[in-house]
């Protein structure tokens, strides 16, 4: 694993900086860390699901989330599953102690409040984050029921959770998947808009250096300068930390509230023309930015935008 100091030595020697952000597997192995999924917090599950369908996604049915002792957490989700990664849309189902933080986040705005990174060993990741002086909650073994073509089953995870406020952008967490076969069911991987993979997330910050330092410590990966701010490259996916001015150059029609926040995330699609046609037919605004398509979320999914590309190299910050 390359540290910040190692990257600097390579740069000074003039050696190539190899980008390792495209592992072609669903789950990590060894010390790898992947951008696993992005989570929207919304008020109305039915309207949010309908908005996803309108945008050309094929969301899963609703799944209620449970604590290890079998009691409901108070939230449920629908997901949009890709060949690599997924989108989660969370909504409240009951008043519980665990939903107070959800309520507080939603009171600020609906939109992306969660980013989850997958690791192969949740217990080791938990210890590493304690060593980086993050305030941590106990490891969380969670499960939720899912239907499969063979009948009822469940999805199981061990979640590495930081205390509220440890990351100003929201619920930034790691998880270890235990049931890949029930989470990424083949029947949910095809979408009319051709979406195939979650690529990068975009954090908009007034203090880019501070946010980049936190994400670097969190992911145990160096942050590197870019034209727009800084980047933390993972073994699959990237965390782009950019200025408000840079973000406005890509998504000019959004007025962002207090920073930092997760303003956008990037998806790979089979055909930009095909995706654009579906969005146009649904009266969803989209505009070309080079070889990317910038799409503000439908209001039902909150504040932010999708950045769609056929190839990751066409993303505005990678081009």
Q: Tens digit of pLDDT for each residue in 255-288? A: 999 999 999 999 999 999 999 999 999 999 999 9
- What pLDDT was estimated at residue 98? 80
- For the beta sheet containing 223-225, the strands, ordered from the edge strand earlier in sequence to the opposite edge, are 223-225, 229-233, 238-242, 195-204, 261-269, 305-309, 292-296, 287-289
Domain end, chosen from 188, 219, 253, is at: 188
Considering the domain architecture, whether residues 56 and 176 belong to the same structural domain is answered as yes
Considering the domain architecture, whether residues 265 and 206 belong to the same structural domain is answered as yes
Tell me the per-residue pLDDT of 174-204, one tens digit each, with 9 for 90 and over: 999 999 999 999 999 999 999 999 999 999 9
Considering the domain architecture, whether residues 149 and 108 belong to the same structural domain is answered as yes
Considering the domain architecture, whether residues 40 and 178 belong to the same structural domain is answered as yes
Asked if 177 and 122 count as a contact pair (C-beta separation under 8 A), the reply is no
Considering the domain architecture, whether residues 42 and 140 belong to the same structural domain is answered as yes
> Does residue 8 fall inside a structural domain?
no
Q: What is the pTM of this model?
A: 0.91
Is the model's pLDDT at 73 over the cut of 70? yes
Domain end, chosen from 188, 209, 243, is at: 188
Banded model confidence at residue 22, pLDDT cuts 50, 70, 90: low
> Does residue 289 fall inside a structural domain?
yes
Considering the domain architecture, whether residues 120 and 245 belong to the same structural domain is answered as no
Is the model's pLDDT at 3 over the cut of 50? no
> Does residue 14 fall inside a structural domain?
no
Q: Report the distance separating Cα 266 and Cα 196, nearest Å.
A: 11
Considering the domain architecture, whether residues 163 and 252 belong to the same structural domain is answered as no
Tell me the per-residue pLDDT of 144-157, one tens digit each, with 9 for 90 and over: 888 999 999 999 99
Q: Which two tokens stand for residue 296?
A: 């503000």
- What pLDDT was estimated at residue 299? 96
Q: Which residues constitute the domain of residue 310?
A: 195-314
Considering the domain architecture, whether residues 179 and 75 belong to the same structural domain is answered as yes
Considering the domain architecture, whether residues 97 and 210 belong to the same structural domain is answered as no
Kindly report the average pLDDT of the chain as a whole number: 92
pLDDT above 90 coverage of the chain, percent: 82
- Domain containing 169 — which CATH number? 3.10.180.10
Considering the domain architecture, whether residues 175 and 38 belong to the same structural domain is answered as yes
Considering the domain architecture, whether residues 163 and 303 belong to the same structural domain is answered as no
**How many structural domains is the chain composed of?**
2
Per-position DSSP letters for the chain, written without gaps between them:
---HHHHHHHHHHT-------B--SSS--TT-EEEEEEEEE-S-HHHHHHHHHHTT--PPPPEEEE-TTS-EEEEEEEEEE-SB-EEEEEEE-S--GGGHHHHHHHHH-SEEEEEEEEES-HHHHHHHHHHTT--BPPPEEEEEEEEETTEEEEEEEEEE-BPTTSSTTSEEEEEEES-HHHHS-GGGS--TT-EEEEEEEEEE-SSHHHHHHHHHHHHTS-EEE-SSEEEEE-SB-EEEEE-HHHHHHHSTT----SSSEEEEEEEEES-HHHHHHHHHHTT---EEETTEEEEEPPGGG-B-EEEEESSGGGSTTT-
> Does residue 16 fall inside a structural domain?
no
Considering the domain architecture, whether residues 101 and 246 belong to the same structural domain is answered as no
> Does residue 9 fall inside a structural domain?
no
Domain end, chosen from 170, 188, 206, is at: 188
> Does residue 252 fall inside a structural domain?
yes
């Amino acid at each position: 694993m390359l540290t910040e100091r190692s990257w600097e030595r390579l740069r000074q020697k003039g050696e190539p900086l190899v980008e390792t952000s495209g592992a072609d597997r669903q789950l990590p192995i060894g010390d790898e860390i992947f951008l696993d999924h992005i989570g929207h917090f919304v008020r109305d599950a039915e309207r949010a699901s309908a908005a996803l369908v309108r945008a050309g996604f094929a969301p899963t049915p609703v799944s209620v989330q449970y604590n290890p002792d079998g009691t409901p957490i108070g939230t449920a989700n629908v997901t949009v599953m890709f060949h690599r990664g997924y989108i989660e849309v969370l909504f409240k189902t009951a008043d519980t102690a665990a939903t107070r933080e959800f309520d507080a986040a939603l009171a600020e705005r609906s939109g992306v409040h969660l980013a989850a990174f997958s690791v192969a060993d949740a217990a080791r990741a938990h210890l590493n984050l304690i060593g980086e002086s993050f305030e941590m909650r106990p490891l969380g073994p969670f499960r939720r029921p899912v239907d499969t073509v063979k009948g009822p089953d469940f999805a199981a995870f061990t979640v590495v959770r930081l205390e509220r406020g440890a990351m100003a952008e929201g619920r930034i967490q790691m998880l270890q998947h235990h049931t890949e076969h029930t989470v990424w069911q083949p029947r949910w991987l095809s979408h009319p808009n051709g979406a195939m993979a979650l690529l990068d997330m975009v954090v908009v910050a007034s203090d880019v250096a501070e946010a980049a330092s936190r994400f670097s410590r969190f992911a145990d990966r160096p942050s590197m300068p870019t034209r727009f701010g800084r980047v933390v490259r993972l073994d699959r996916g990237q965390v782009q930390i950019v200025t408000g001015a840079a973000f406005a150059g890509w998504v000019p029609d959004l007025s962002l509230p207090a920073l930092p926040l997760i303003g956008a995330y990037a998806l790979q699609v089979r055909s930009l023309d095909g995706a654009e046609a579906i969005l146009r037919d649904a009266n969803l605004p989209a505009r070309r930015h080079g070889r990317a398509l910038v799409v503000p979320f439908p209001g039902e999914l909150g504040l932010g935008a999708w950045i769609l590309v056929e190839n990751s190299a066409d993303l505005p910050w990678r081009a």
